[in-house]
Amino acid sequence: MAKSSVTKISHNGHTYGLQFGGWLNHRYGDASKALFEIYTNDIRLPDMTVGEYKSAKNAEYEALENKRDMTFMKYLKQSFKSEYGYDWDESIEGIKKAINDSCIPYLLRQKKDASVNERSMALFRAADNGHVASTYFIATALSDGKEEECLSWLTLAHNRGHIGAAYDMAAYFDQIGNTVDSLRCLIISADSGFDIAYMNLFSMDLLKKILSIQEGSKLDSMLNELIDGSHNSCARYFKAVRLLVGDTPAEGVSLLKRFRQNPKKKPADKDIDDVYYNQVAFTEEFADAVLSDISSKKHPLMSLMERSLEFANPDRANEGKSITVGFNDFRELVGVVKKERLDAEV
């Protein structure tokens, strides 16, 4: 993940630090390459991780009185060669290949006769060395059993750059009734480039849950944190909703108009696709409809509810338009995929 801020989630005595503010790895890349992604800093060397080694060498580098033409990377590579006897780049690439070779056959279920324990150990070893897909696989396996330990693994997978992990966290918190942190993770997922998360923002089910939140100050604090820490955050929409149904609807109208103008972070021109344009068109259409209703003296809450239902109509998809989705839709899709996978293994 690109340089970002960290928001903290406290749940049942545990704290999870979730990075936000940047694009996730492979958001616009080849999905097959993402399967081989390894978070380099978490690779284990004989006595420390790569990240710890780089940090130690950086401290040494900064302490040099005369750096001359010595860059940090040059110092790092020279130090590694001197201490371990190997070339830095070749070693890192070699380790990554070994990690992938050890776990990919298990992820792709190419080893049909492998025991559950053998497969689990291979994935745990890979995850312990920064393998992103293995980290996410372990997290989702734990979440199937509703084990809270999945949150630690999902946090790790997200911070290592996995595109779907924050959305899984949002779905988990939604299922146990923690709406504020579910919304926090959903916004982070949408802001990071996960399309399903973005279309979940406007669902009727989510709107009802947000309106029922008793701790308004906690919700507002979270929204402000994400707005301040991420360019064109989707949190602006929910802040507009709060204002529209609160005591300052005029401020809500103003913020909704600004959100409509820049509804989501724009990717590089080479990465813009039909999905992006459809989602922007959806948001503009949705916001225009609500703003038109309000200008016609319809109560903002009534407009938001009616439009949320209207924009979830499957007929829109038949017209080539985007529609809202909810966590239940996602759970049903996951269930279908799992069933097909199990059927294929029989």
- The reported pLDDT for the residue numbered 333 is 67
Question: What region does 268 belong to: left with phi over 0, alpha with psi -120 to 50, or beta?
Answer: beta
| Contact status, residue 238 vs residue 183, Cβ threshold 8 Å | yes
DSSP letters for 216-285: HHHHHHHHHHHHHHSTT-THHHHHHHHHHTTT-HHHHHHHHHHHHHS-S----GGG--HHHHHHHHHHHH
Amino acid code (one letter) for 29: G
Query: 């990465």: which residue's tokens?
Result: 271
At residue 10, φ and ψ (nearest 5 deg) are -105, 125
For residue 129, which of 54, 26, 45 has the smallest C-alpha distance?
45
Give tens-digit pLDDT for 175-187: 999 999 999 999 9
For residue 141, which of 343, 346, 341 has the smallest C-alpha distance?
341
Q: CB-based burial of residue 145 (10 Å sphere; 0-12 exposed, 13-18 middle, 19+ buried)?
A: exposed
Is 144 domain-assigned? Answer: yes
Is 117 domain-assigned? Answer: no
Is 265 domain-assigned? Answer: yes
- The reported pLDDT for the residue numbered 336 is 56
| Contact status, residue 113 vs residue 105, Cβ threshold 8 Å | no
- The reported pLDDT for the residue numbered 311 is 95
Residue 8, SS3 per DSSP: strand
| C-alpha of 210 from chain center | 20
Q: How many CB atoms lie within 10 A of CB 97?
A: 12
For the chain, which residues score pLDDT lower than 70?
1-4, 22-31, 144-146, 333-346
- The reported pLDDT for the residue numbered 37 is 94
Give the pairing type, strands 14-20 and 5-11. Answer: antiparallel
CA 192 vs CA 163, 221, 309: distances in Å: 8, 20, 26
| Contact status, residue 114 vs residue 106, Cβ threshold 8 Å | yes
Query: 């979440």: which residue's tokens?
Result: 143
Q: How far apart are CA 183 and CA 188, in angstroms?
A: 8
Is 19 domain-assigned? Answer: yes
- The reported pLDDT for the residue numbered 271 is 74
DSSP type of residue 204: H
- The reported pLDDT for the residue numbered 7 is 97
Q: How many domains does the chain have?
A: 1
Give tens-digit pLDDT for 282-297: 999 999 999 999 999 9
Is 150 domain-assigned? Answer: yes
Query: String of b and e for 55-82 (b: at least 16 CB within 10 Å)?
Result: eebeeebeeeeeeeeeeeeebbbebbee
Is 143 domain-assigned? Answer: yes
Is 307 domain-assigned? Answer: yes
- The range of the structural domain enclosing residue 194 comes to 5-37+131-345
- The reported pLDDT for the residue numbered 142 is 86
- The reported pLDDT for the residue numbered 202 is 96
Is 58 domain-assigned? Answer: no
